[in-house]
Amino acid sequence: MIEAENLTKRYGDKTAVDDLSFTVEPGRVTGFLGPNGAGKSTTMRLLLGLDRPDRGDARIQGRHYRDLNAPMRVVGALLEARAVHTGRSAYNHLLCLAQTQGIGKKRVEEVIDLVGLTGPARKRAGGFSLGMGQRLGIAAALLGDPSVLILDEPVNGLDPEGIMWIRTLMQRLAAEGRTVFVSSHLMNEMAVTAEHLIVIGRGRLIADCSTEEFIERSTEKTVTVRSPDAARLTDAVTAEGGKVVPGDDGQLTVTHMEAPRVGELAAAGGIVLHELTPSRGSLESAFMELTRDSVEYGAAGFGRLLLAEWTKIRTVRSTLWSLILLILLDLGFTALLTGLTIGQWDNANASDRASIAADPVSFILGSGFFLSQLTVCVLGVLVIGSEYSTGMIRASLLAVPRRLPMLWAKALVFGLVILVLGVAVSFGSFFIGAAIVGDKAPVSLGDAGVLRAVIGGGLYLAMLGLFALAIGAIVRHTAGGITGVIGFVLVLAPLTALLPGSIGDHVHAYLPSEAGTLIAKAHQGPDDLLTPWQGYGVFALWTVVLLAIAAFLLKRRDA
């Protein structure tokens, strides 16, 4: 059962949903109708906890959506069929969602077969047609075998065979005792699918009744009559209070009188009838009549969340290629720049040679850091920014309505991935660089501070990834997020030189990128105001503050 009580939602000075109350009962298909801009999609988002009502309450099976422990096992929702990462296959998209609920791979394969996507299941969803995308969205809604279905325009993009299939499916699920709530702009389809209707206009309830009752009370019954003596019949009907509109070939359209009474009047007057056909209005005409004035032009286990976030990362080829690129760029540029520097060793000035000899590990790791930083910054923003740009964030929040655990799982998985790769790359870069440096500036892992610096390179990249992820979550825009992170990391530091005296030095020392990179140094330099661990602590504090802001906004904002 779905219950909405006094739901109200405003966007600025526009009221999208206005004191709306209704109940959707199980065991029947309930249609949800309204003209464009009536508030149907907003209402569905309020039911599913994607948007927060300004007033009122919505419950499904007696509970708020956010309080459902395994929501997809209770509610199956289709709001946006295209809410899927275009670089991920249909199978992996469903697998990500299934893993948040503890649903096995067998069920994923079952729903893929049910919706007819067995052939293209392993292909990237970005190449799907509108109809195939719609079938994928329906598969996601059915994944948890839910007792409640909320479907927004489920037949959109389907061919006639697909429309008949989804109609039969909805009616079968309702016959099993499930609650089926479906919106559609195809009136003829709703007339043969829905037993009950909820109709809204300008965010307010217009009708809540059976489909039959809606048509009966909202349309005028007519009787079509053909007679060679149309004039006399018109007089007889009019005298009895009926209304007659003449047509071609002796056809009359009679209103305000039932067909049997028309026949009786014709018989009493000896009038020959060639046709006497009562007709009832259609759902479409009833809908147009009633809405004429309304038209506007659980928590999932945290381990499951971690598994789902890992699946999201590993099933997008662009992400995998970016991680490979991170490794190749870091190792390649370490070898290139270290080799070039050592090749010019004899021509270098004494201070540069002394600096490298004093802390060779910082020189080696720093050679490849620049491009690694850029790659991690972009990836950090994309991890969450791509979910907003593709609409996948709404599918994620339907699977995990408790928003903060989803953010923490995403941050933890991404941070661990970058940490492992970062440490591996740092060790690789160190050994490559140490071999190239040779006896010019000999260094080994056993030297003081070297092992910590090498591991610190990975720690820095991991924290940078979380820093970028937090900005991406705050901005919710891929390009804006990337620009913001790069501005923090690369642009602010040079600008501090414009500040007077020691003020600039102190501001520079506490910038996230400058403080964070200290952890990749073997020793505290003479100009460093912070120790390596102090610097990393400052960077971690920056990241925690941004993640806290991101969490606050994620919880407060509409999806």
pLDDT tens digits, one per residue of 108-140: 999 999 999 999 999 988 888 888 999 999 999
Residue 355's pLDDT band, with cuts at 50, 70 and 90, is confident
Question: From CA 287, how far away is CA 302, in angstroms rounded?
Answer: 46
- What whole-number distance in Å separates Cα of residue 90 and Cα of residue 79? 17
Second CATH level (architecture) for the domain 222-277: 2-Layer Sandwich (3.30)
Strand (E) or helix (H) holding 543: helix 532-556
pLDDT above 70 (res 297)? no
SS3 202: coil
d(Cα 556, Cα 299) in Å, to the nearest integer?
19
In the predicted model, what is the mean pLDDT of the chain? 87
Domain range summary for the chain, segments of one domain joined by +: 2-217, 222-277, 302-556
Identify which has the larger pLDDT, 316 or 168: 168
pLDDT digits (tens, 9 = 90+) for 48-66: 999 999 999 999 999 999 8
Closest CA to 409 of 398, 425, 396, 422: 396
Cβ contact 103:149 at 8 Å? no
Report for 155-159, 184-188, 242-246: range of highest mean pLDDT: 242-246
pLDDT tens per residue across span 205-233: 988 988 888 877 655 678 899 998 888 99
pLDDT band at 471 (very low <50, low <70, confident <90, very high): very high
Answer yes or no: is pLDDT of 403 > 50.
yes
Higher pLDDT, 491 or 539: 539
Q: What is the pLDDT of residue 23?
A: 95
- What local confidence, expressed as pLDDT, does residue 296 receive? 47
Q: Domain 2-217: state its class.
A: alpha beta
Q: Which residues contact 435 (CB under 8 A, 6 or more apart)?
A: none
Residues 424-456 pLDDT 10s: 999 998 899 889 988 888 888 888 888 998 999
Q: What is the pLDDT, as a whole number, of residue 506?
A: 80
Fold agreement (2-217, 222-277): no
Q: What is the C-alpha to C-alpha distance for residues 113 and 166, in angstroms, rounded to an integer?
A: 14
